[in-house]
Structures are given as structure tokens and as C-alpha cells.
Amino acid sequence: MVMIWESVWPCLIPSLSIGLLTVGLTLTGTFEFLPATAHIMLLSALSVAMMVALVAPWRRFRWPTRRDILRRLEAENRLENNPLQSLEDHIDNTEDPLTSFLWQRQLGLHETALANLRLPRPIPAISKIDRFGLTAIPILLMFVGLMVGSNHIAERFSKAFSPLQRLGAAEFSATLWVTPPAYTGQVPR
């Protein structure tokens, strides 16, 4: 589970950061201060960035194999000579008693080495992905937004995700006349 989480977490960081950035900008009321065209452009850019962040990191995703897990356990526990992997090995049936004795002895040594086996702790991957700590900005922005706009959350989300309401409705009317063909002689209905 630890290695699966270490593989999945880096794929989630970009989309979570963009989602938190969008929520933070919404709660702070940033969209309300922008002109309507800039508002639409920013929402479009955030939408495209979210789609890319949801798809792109998963291209390099790889499930850890059994061999990867055993190797990680051996490295974390500082086990030498690959005892976990050797427990899965076997030798062909042999009539040589010395070979069988040595093989059983080796397996016994590996089993005693595994007596104090402990599970590894997850390695934080955020330092590999975000060297400059930019993922803290959306979290801080969302925190500030919650403090500033806690009384107007629904209103701010409504205004942020419906920018066309700010443009207003245009008053438009038209009267069209269609001339009927001469052979019918009827007024259009």
C-alpha cells in the first residue's frame, strides 16, 4: 500500500493544486474584480490546465511490481543478499546431500534475518515534484478566501462560474416580413 500511495500521490498533486487555486480565487472574489473577458479567459485557462493536470501525470504511472516491493523492503530494512527474493527461489531436486544442506542452511539464515522485518514509511514525493513550494500558494489562497468570504460562499461561486451574467442581456428585436409567392396570394402566418 505504501508504494501504491507513493505512485498515486504525485499524479494527484497537479490537479489538486489547480482545483484549490480555482476555489481560492473564487472565495477571495478575484473573479468579481476582473473584466468579463478576462474572467472568461481565466476560467478557460484554469479549465484547460485542469484537464491537462488530470491526464498528463498518469502517462508515467506504473503499478509497483512484486519485485519492486521486495526490493524496497530489503533496502528499508538493510537486508543483504536479497533474503526476501531468495525465499521464493528453489533448486532442482538433487541427490547431493551437501547441496541440499547448504540450501536449507541458507534459507534458515534468510528466515532469521527476516525476524525483525518492518514496513517502510512513505517517502514524501512533493519535494521531488514541487521544488519551489508553489503548491502552498493555492492552499494559502483558499485559507485566505475562507476567512474573507465565509459569509458569501454561494454567491461568489455563482458569480465565478457564470461570467456571461456580467455581460447582461442585450435588448434585441426584429420584425421580418416574408413576401408570399405570387401564385398563392396569401399573407404569411
**What's the pLDDT at 44?**
93
Three-state secondary structure call for residue 55 = helix
pLDDT at 57 over 60: yes
Range of weakest confidence among 41-50, 146-155, 179-188: 179-188
* 9-25 mean pLDDT: 90
For residue 59, which of 118, 10, 5 has the smallest C-alpha distance?
10
- The three cell numbers locating residue 105: 542452511
Mean pLDDT of 34-42: 89
Neighbours of 120 (CB within 10 A): 14
Per-residue confidence (pLDDT) for residue 169, from 0 to 100 = 58
**How far is the C-alpha of 19 from the C-alpha of 13, rounded, in Å?**
10
Rounded Cα–Cα distance for residues 18 and 55 (Å): 13
Report pLDDT for 188.
61
pLDDT (average), residues 32-48: 91
Across 64-70, average pLDDT: 81
For residue range 83-122, what is the model confidence (pLDDT) as tens digits?
Answer: 777 767 777 777 778 878 887 887 787 777 777 777 777 7
Between these two residues, 61 and 122, which has the higher pLDDT value? Answer: 61
pLDDT score at 20: 94
Per-residue pLDDT tens digits for 134-178: 888 999 999 998 898 888 888 888 888 887 777 765 566 777 767
Upper half-sphere CA count for residue 86 (Cβ side, 13 Å):
17
CA–CA distances in Å: residue 176 to residues 5, 52, 179, 189: 65, 47, 10, 12
**In this predicted structure, which of 5-19, 39-53, 123-137, 142-156 has the lowest mean pLDDT?**
123-137
